[in-house]
Chains A and B, each alone.
Chain A
Amino acid sequence: NAGVTQTPKFRILKIGQSMTLQCTQDMNHNYMYWYRQDPGMGLKLIYYSVGAGITDKGEVPNGYNVSRSTTEDFPLRLELAAPSQTSVYFCASSYSQGGSGYEQYFGPGTRLTVT
């Protein structure tokens, strides 16, 4: 069981470039999440999905897009990268809603720098 895997681990983007952060889970979880973690801050929810084909915005969705075509994959797309998107990005999954007591399983993160 690999759990939640994310690629790449590190990336440097120039302002205005685009990229996709990949996330895959092999636990057959329905719920998947994308968070960003800024220095000295807690995690902020960007987008979440409750199942294949269903996604919704979290607290900080601007500048990002997601899709969920399969249960396993939940890629995060950055269009027109900006310095404010410099952060560490975590993907997570859970069997049911994380807030209702079900554990969220996190990937190792992607450190993104936009210059």
Chain B
Amino acid sequence: GDSVTQMEGPVTLSEEAFLTINCTYTATGYPSLFWYVQYPGEGLQLLLKATKADDKGSNKGFEATYRKETTSFHLEKGSVQVSDSAVYFCALSDLARNTGFQKLVFGTGTRLLVSP
């Protein structure tokens, strides 16, 4: 089935450093791709998404580009803040052909720790 692979964490950075969190996927069709973020003690929140190849999703200074040729959706931010410390999940949409239901398939998550 479809799957998502994320880089293992934790990723430890100093404030204002450049962030990249790698995400690659395996899919038989053309899924939508997502980044969700989980702050400590909270549920997941949608950070950004891209629904077709070459789309760029962006939000709160984070960006990710849907690269079909490399099956990747890497998350980047030019200058991280302490408040960006969280767990980041890459996800894709997976269509169940027998029911027509599109579920989300999540990666294992990457913890980001930003120090002052």
Interface residues of A (CB under 8 A from B): 4, 40-43, 45, 48, 50, 56, 58, 90, 92, 97-101, 103-109
User: How many of B's residues come within 8 Å of A, CB to CB?
Assistant: 27
Dominant SS at the A interface?
mixed
Q: Does the CB pair A99–B94 fall under 8 Å?
A: yes
Neighbouring A residues of B106 by C-beta, 8 Å? 42-43
Q: Does the CB pair A99–B43 fall under 8 Å?
A: no
- Which of A90, A99, A105, A106 is the most central at the interface, judged by chain B CB atoms within 10 Å of its CB? A99
With contact pairs A99-B93, A99-B94, A101-B49 given, residues A48 and B43 touching in the complex (Cβ less than 8 Å): no
Q: Does the CB pair B43–A98 fall under 8 Å?
A: no
Report the separation of the CA atoms of residues A101 and B30 in the bound assembly, to the nearest whole angstrom.
12
Interface residues of B (CB under 8 A from A): 4, 31-32, 41-46, 49, 51, 89, 91-95, 99, 101-109
Q: Does the CB pair B107–A42 fall under 8 Å?
A: yes
Q: Which residue of B lies closest to A35 (CB)?
A: B106
Neighbouring A residues of B91 by C-beta, 8 Å? 42
Q: Does the CB pair A99–B41 fall under 8 Å?
A: no
With contact pairs A41-B108, A100-B32 given, residues A56 and B4 touching in the complex (Cβ less than 8 Å): no
Q: Does the CB pair A98–B99 fall under 8 Å?
A: no
Neighbouring A residues of B43 by C-beta, 8 Å? 4, 90, 92, 105-109
